[in-house]
Structure 1
Amino acid sequence: MAKASSPIPAEILEQYERLVATIPGVPRKGATVPYTSVNGNMFSYLSKEGVLALRLPSAAREEFLAKYETSLTSAYGVVQKEYADVPPWLLADTEQLTPWFEASYTYVSGLKPKPTTRKKAGG
Structure 2
Amino acid sequence: MWEEKLKVYDQLVAKCSRFERKGKTMPYTSANGYMFSLFNKDCEIGIRFSKDVQEEYIKAFNSSIYKSYGAVMKGYVLIPDSMLNDLDNVAKYLNESYDYVMTLEPK
Q: Tell me the TM-score normalised to structure 1 length.
A: 0.78
Using the TM superposition, give the Cα deviation of residue 56 of structure 1 relative to its aligned residue in structure 2, in angstroms: 0.7
Alignment of 1:36 with 2:29, yes or no, is yes
- Distance in 2, matches of 1:14 and 1:76, equals 20
Q: Which has the higher contact order (CA 8 A, sep 6+)?
A: 2
Q: Structure 2: any 5+ residue segments left out of the alignment?
A: none
Larger helix proportion, structure 1 or 2?
A: 2
Using the TM superposition, give the Cα deviation of residue 19 of structure 1 relative to its aligned residue in structure 2, in angstroms: 1.3
Three-state SS of the structure 1 residue aligned to 2:75 is strand
Question: Which residue of 1 is the match for residue 40 of structure 2?
Answer: 47
Three-state SS of the structure 1 residue aligned to 2:30 is strand
Question: Which residue of 2 is the match for residue 15 of structure 1?
Answer: 8
Using the TM superposition, give the Cα deviation of residue 75 of structure 1 relative to its aligned residue in structure 2, in angstroms: 3.0
Q: Structure 1: any 5+ residue segments left out of the alignment?
A: 1-7, 115-123
Q: Is the 8 A contact 1:15 1:92 kept in 2?
A: no
Q: Which has the larger radius of gyration?
A: 1
Three-state SS of the structure 2 residue aligned to 1:43 is strand
Q: Tell me the TM-score normalised to structure 2 length.
A: 0.88
For residue 94 of structure 2, the aligned residue among 68, 93, 101 is 101
- Distance in 2, matches of 1:103 and 1:25, equals 12
- Matched AA of 2:98: Y
Percent identity of the aligned residues? 36
**RMSD of the TM alignment (CA)?**
1.6
Question: Which residue of 2 is the match for residue 56 of structure 1?
Answer: 49
Question: What per-residue deviation string (whole Å, max 9, x for no partner) do you get for residues 20-57 of structure 1?
Answer: 12221411000111000002210001001110011011
- Distance in 1, matches of 2:21 and 2:46, equals 14
